[in-house]
Copies of this chain bind each other. A is one copy, B any other.
Amino acid sequence: MHIHFREGDMLKTVAPLSASSFAGGVIMPNLVPPVDSKERLLAYREEIQAAIEPHSFDPYMTLFFKNYSASFLEKIKPNIIGIKLYPAGATTNSESGVKAIDQAEKTIEIMQELGIPLMVHGESDGFVMDREKEFIGIYEYLARKYPRLQITMEHITTAAAVNFLERFENVSATVTLQHLLITLDDVVGGLMQPHHFCKPIAKRPEDREALLEAALNAHPKLMFGSDSAPHPISKKETCGCAAGVFTAPIALQILVDLFEKHGKLENLQAFVSDRAREIYGITPPPKKITFTRKPFTIPAQYGTVVPFRATQETPWSIVQ
């Protein structure tokens, strides 16, 4: 429920890898330039469709948050699952994002009236370990002021965000694979690990514990959203490396292992799929993925992209 397909050659590499083991995904709009018009949105959707097996995967399209008119939103509503709000500068290609939430409210009000979900990259511009926690006040303000607006806290990374899910009916969240598994220790606790570097950054052990517990127990408001974010190796393994962890082709195998190890395999379907269908009311094409307990070695690269846990072995494989 949160994935980056990019464009061009990168899209041709990564989109089929998601389509082969997932039935649908929320496609993030932070391209250059951003997806902010109907033409761009439909052309992007077409580019995705052309790269994958027909009818195998529903790309749920999003618009990049800007101030849009009611008539525009009314017309584009059937083509989108929601609108993604980025605070300016918070992550990759977010320079044209929102600078202050009050500048966004006119559009947010229209979204509430039209029933268009608001998806949010919820980070302040404060200290890196505090950014998500500091943003919770804005979630609270929006959730209270727009009680009929469906709000998704994207890629949550803290116990504070998990706890916040209890407070408002209209707030849900996604969580990535890596934030169930790693902490800041895995980014900079030993040597620097660019392939564990993403935004929001992985936080403290108690944060990971809270996220993992919520996922394993199929928290009714928590959806799996990989935030799988491919960058070519040339942008990851060099000075000033780009933020993003690429997990799409190996996420399910690792999740099966994780849920099985914790004796919670019966909750995996809810976490990966059912929660999103309930929250967004979507009906992706039926798809059955079969796993076998046969070790699978994660490739060193998919095209130019190094995946999470590259060259490591996981105990489960997908039966092709």
**Could you list which residues of chain A lie within 8 angstroms of chain B, going by C-beta atoms?**
127-129, 183-185, 187-189, 191-195, 197, 201, 204-205, 236-243
Contacts and interface: CB of A to CB of B under 8 A. Distances in A.
A128 B243 contact: no
Given A192-B194, A194-B192, A197-B192, A185 B127 contact: yes
A195 B194 CA distance: 14
Contacts of A185: 127-128
B238 A205 contact: no
Contacts of A242: 191
Given A191-B241, A197-B188, A129 B127 contact: no
B192 A240 contact: yes
Nearest to A129: B184
Contacts of A193: 239-240
B191 A243 contact: yes
A127 B188 contact: no
Nearest to A243: B191
A71 to B, nearest CB: 39
Contacts of A236: 239
B183 A127 contact: yes
Give this chain's copy count.
2
A194 B239 contact: yes
A195 B240 CA distance: 9
A204 B195 CA distance: 23
B192 A241 contact: yes
Given A187-B188, A192-B192, A204 B129 contact: yes
Contact of A129 (B129, B195, B237, B240): B129
A91 to B, nearest CB: 11
A241 B240 CA distance: 12
Given A127-B185, A128-B184, 10 more contacts: A127-B184, A129-B129, A129-B184, A187-B188, A188-B188, A188-B201, A191-B242, A191-B243, A192-B194, A238-B238
Which of A197, A205, A239 is packed against the most chain B CB atoms within 10 Å? A239
Given A238-B237, A238-B238, A239-B237, A128 B188 contact: yes
Nearest to A191: B240
A214 B39 CA distance: 59
Contacts of A240: 191-193
In the A-B complex, the 7 residue pairs with the closest CB atoms: A128-B189, A237-B239, A191-B240, A192-B241, A128-B185, A192-B197, A194-B239
B205 A127 contact: yes
Nearest to A204: B127
A222 to B, nearest CB: 24
A28 B129 CA distance: 32
30 contacts: A127-B183, A127-B184, A127-B185, A127-B189, A127-B204, A127-B205, A128-B184, A128-B188, A129-B129, A129-B184, A129-B204, A187-B188, A188-B188, A188-B197, A191-B240, A191-B241, A191-B242, A191-B243, A192-B192, A192-B194, A192-B197, A192-B239, A192-B240, A192-B241, A193-B239, A194-B239, A195-B239, A236-B239, A237-B238, A237-B239
